[in-house]
Structure 1
Amino acid sequence: MSKVCELTGKKAMVGNNVSHAMNKTKRRFEANLFKKRFYIPEEDKWVTLKVSTSALKTINKIGISAALKKARTNGLLK
């Protein structure tokens, strides 16, 4: 299972750990993802999505139906 938000497309970024001596080693900044169930009243069913915290805030603001529609237009959902 990939670590990618299904609504926003957020995924891990790559950066450096920097020590006091300025030595640099590669590290990953993972996306803050949660598995969450949502009820869609138009389709009368529950769906489970892996979403980031920013996607949860968007869902709270515009609603799950509008967020799914926006993700479909951006090509993130089928």
Structure 2
Amino acid sequence: MSRVCELSGKSGLVGNRVSHAKNRTKVRLLPNLQEKKFYAPGLGKFVKFRLSTSALRTVNKIGIEAYCVKEGIKLG
């Protein structure tokens, strides 16, 4: 399974870890993904998503259906 947020589309980045001596080492910077089930009243059932914690905070604040409308995502 890819490490991409299913709602916001947030994915990993590639960067360098730089030591004090300026030695550079490649590193993958991955998003903090969590699996979470939400109840969708419009569907009348639970929907499971793998989403980043920043998207999770937004969904908790405005609701899953409002978030999907804002991002243009179709539930179901």
CA distance in 2, matches of 1:3, 1:38: 20
Percentage identity across aligned positions?
Answer: 54
CA distance in 2, matches of 1:5, 1:77: 15
Counterpart amino acid of residue 26 in structure 2: K
Counterpart amino acid of residue 2 in structure 1: S
Aligned-pair Cα RMSD in Å? 1.9
Alignment of 1:32-51 (within 5 A): 32-51=32-51
Q: Is the 8 A contact 2:16 2:26 kept in 1?
A: yes
Gaps of 5+ in 1: none
Residue of structure 1 in register with 2:6 after alignment: 6
- TM-score in terms of structure 2 length: 0.88
Q: Is the 8 A contact 2:68 2:74 kept in 1?
A: no
Deviation at 1:50, TM superposition (A): 0.4
CA distance in 1, matches of 2:27, 2:75: 29
Gaps of 5+ in 2: none
Runs of 4+ in 1 over 3 A off after TM superposition: 75-78
- Aligned pair 1:65/2:72, yes or no? no
- TM-score in terms of structure 1 length: 0.86
